[in-house]
Amino acid sequence: MTGIMLRSTAFNDHAMIPHDYSHEAGDRSPELEWTGTPEGTAELALICEDPDAPRGTFTHWLAAGIAPDVEQVAAGTDPQGATLGRNDYGERGYGGPHPPAGDSPHRYFFHVYALADHSRLPEGFTAEDFHRCLQNADVLASGTLVGTYGR
């Protein structure tokens, strides 16, 4: 499997996510950019998760059905033409970091996946639906960007 280079103009890999992109600042998504989508990609899928949440992994963003020629998501938007899943705040689209006050900074994993076939995930799909889809999918490539955030 080849790799997709995923990055953000808002923060570097393994660096602090600025407050502007947090839950308490209004859930404005950071800009994401990627390169390396392989030939034969039918769609891209995106997820952001916090594995350090007290009750287990907390999902902050789910998007599927992203056209393979899309190479970025502008700040404050969802991917163009995407089918949006429901984050663990119960909303569609991006929900920013909001770890418990006093916790060590949490890690936020942004993953983009290049799929060989269409996922056919419906609007409002869950993280469980997303992961089940990936288990059964032909994933051609993926990329990861990790940000941290604490309060």
What tens digit of pLDDT does each residue of 106-135 get?
A: 999 999 999 999 999 999 999 999 999 999
Structure tokens at 90: 């119960």
Residue 1 has pLDDT above 90, yes or no: no
For 41-94, write each residue's pLDDT tens digit.
999 999 999 999 999 999 999 999 999 999 999 999 999 999 999 999 999 999
Amino acid at 23: H
Structure tokens at 116: 């060989």
Q: CA-to-CA distance for 65 and 119, rounded, in angstroms?
A: 7
Pairing of the two strands 43-50 and 58-66: antiparallel
3 state SS of 131: helix
Structure tokens at 133: 């889809």
Structure tokens at 82: 């995407």
Q: Which CATH superfamily is domain 2-149 in?
A: PEBP-like (3.90.280.10)
For 5-50, write each residue's pLDDT tens digit.
999 999 999 999 999 999 999 999 999 999 999 999 999 999 999 9
Q: CA-to-CA distance for 24 and 100, rounded, in angstroms?
A: 12
Contact between 115 and 141 under an 8 Å Cβ cutoff? The reply is: no
Give this prediction's pTM: 0.97
For residue 104, the model assigns a pLDDT of: 96
Which of 91, 121, 92, 97 has its CA nearest to residue 11?
97
Residue 2 has pLDDT above 80, yes or no: no
